Amino acid sequence: MNLPPDIYPELLAKAKELGVNPQDIEESFVAGGGKGGQKINKTASCVLLRYAPKGIIIRCQKHREQSKNRLSAFKLLLSKVEEQVKGRQSEKAKKIFKLRKQKQKRSKRAKEKMLEGKSRHGEIKQARKPVQIKF
């Protein structure tokens, strides 16, 4: 496979770092499907990439143009290879971990806020108790 001509240099560097050889990628163009009517079903703008060493198959039909789909498919392929090679050290795994940590922090803050509201409500109820008058 020849790499897309408009590929970014950082993607090429990432491919070299992961050991992805362009000759191992088999590329084919197929007719798309789904929403979009006859135009989508007639033109071969959908890109299908097969990366034999890892057994990864990518099918990309995000855009109307074949060239954009080609670039997107290559990006997807690199991210999948990175997940398999690096595991927890991959960018996607790091993002997921970060989001989980943020949600834990949010839940702690929400719990503190709830307890604060309960104590405030308790103080209001204490103030409502009838006053005993002695004569």
How confident is the model at residue 72, as a pLDDT?
Answer: 92
Sheet holding 46-51, edge to edge: 25-30, 46-51, 56-60
pLDDT band at 43 (very low <50, low <70, confident <90, very high): confident
Q: Please give the Cα distance from 47 to 69 (Å, whole number).
A: 6
Is the pLDDT score of 60 beyond 90? yes
1 vs 120: which has the higher pLDDT: 120
How confident is the model at residue 38, as a pLDDT?
Answer: 76
Nearest to 40 by CA among 31, 27, 50, 51: 31
Is residue 51 within 8 Å of 79, Cβ to Cβ?
no
- Could you please report the per-residue DSSP string of 81-121? HHHHHHGGGSHHHHHHHHHHHHHHHHHHHHHHHHHHHHHHH
pLDDT band at 73 (very low <50, low <70, confident <90, very high): very high
pLDDT band at 3 (very low <50, low <70, confident <90, very high): low
Q: What number of residues does the chain have?
A: 135
Report field, pTM of the whole predicted structure over 0.75: no
Looking at every residue in the chain, the average pLDDT score rounds to 85
DSSP 132: P
48 φ/ψ angles, rounded to the nearest 5 degrees: -120, 115
Is the pLDDT score of 63 beyond 80? yes
